[in-house]
Amino acid sequence: MRPFEQLVDEAERADVTGWGFGWLEGRATEERPPWGYARLLASRLARVDSALDLDTGGGEVVAEAPALPRRMMVTEGWPPNAARARALLGPRGVQVLEVRPGEPLPVPDASVDLVSARHPVAPDWVQTHRVLRPGGSYLAQHVGPASAFELIEQFLGPLPASTRSARDPAAEAAAAERSGLEVVDLHTARCRMEVHDIGAVVWILRKCVWWVPDFSVATYLPQLRRLDERMRAGDPVVAHSTRHLVEAVRPGG
């Protein structure tokens, strides 16, 4: 394994825009949920006339779909990701909408057949209900409770029960129902992650900035050194991502 300083320097210079994780190939692994979200989404996009993908990142998941609706829109709140999404999806006629958290979606009422999201920042059920046509569907893969906390707590220490229980799938389903949507499917999964070098840890924490919000190498150098020693001894960092697949419909239509 290369020296600590070299691995860290490489990870600090690497690009973390978009939602691609190819940089981790050979350095970290993560099991995938059994339902195959990208495949499910591609199937739905091929059968509707209009769709809106929320928090699209660099548009990577939408770009996997062989066929897109006649009217396809995506939203993104981070300008570098929005620029990446325009470059990737613009040639296919996709409209990229830059939005800020908490603001209404810049989409007319009852105007889309499908709203989708892979790992939305925070589900906005009221806005989702508003933009869906009666009979339209919401299909998304959400991050679940205490996802990757085994890694996160290496830096932040034990987190409170209220934080560990956030993003509960049953609570999110109840919130969707309160907005007027009908939840028709809900599945959960817990997937094993393994991280094998300290560069991968640094890159992940730079990309997923909400995991350790004040992360920097200088701030957390002792923790990084300890993890590096552990991985050099052949003991990877093991954590578990939690995911849930939720499908809801707006009644009517």
Amino acid at 235: D
133-184 tens-digit pLDDT: 999 999 999 999 999 999 999 999 999 999 999 999 999 999 999 999 999 9
Residue 20 predicted with pLDDT over 90 = no
- The pLDDT, as a whole number, for residue 18 is 86
CB–CB of 99/105 below 8 Å?
yes
CATH number of 4-249, picked from 3.40.309.10, 3.30.9.60, 3.60.110.10, 3.40.50.150: 3.40.50.150
> What Å distances lie between residue 204 and 55, 150, 201, 216, CA to CA?
18, 14, 5, 12
207-250 tens-digit pLDDT: 999 999 999 999 999 999 999 999 999 999 999 999 999 999 99
Look up tokens 């049953």; give the residue: 170
> What Å distances lie between residue 225 and 31, 76, 214, 233, CA to CA?
26, 35, 18, 13
Q: Half-sphere exposure of residue 129, counting CA atoms within 13 Å on the CB side?
A: 15
The Cα–Cα gap between 56 and 173 comes to 21
Domain ranges of the chain: 4-249
Taking residues 30-45, report their average pLDDT: 97
Helix (H) or strand (E) holding 63: helix 60-63
38-86 tens-digit pLDDT: 999 999 999 999 999 999 999 999 999 999 999 999 999 999 999 999 9
What DSSP string describes 184-229?
Answer: EEEEEEEEEEEE-SHHHHHHHHHHSTTTSTT--TTTTHHHHHHHHH
The Cα–Cα gap between 205 and 250 comes to 37
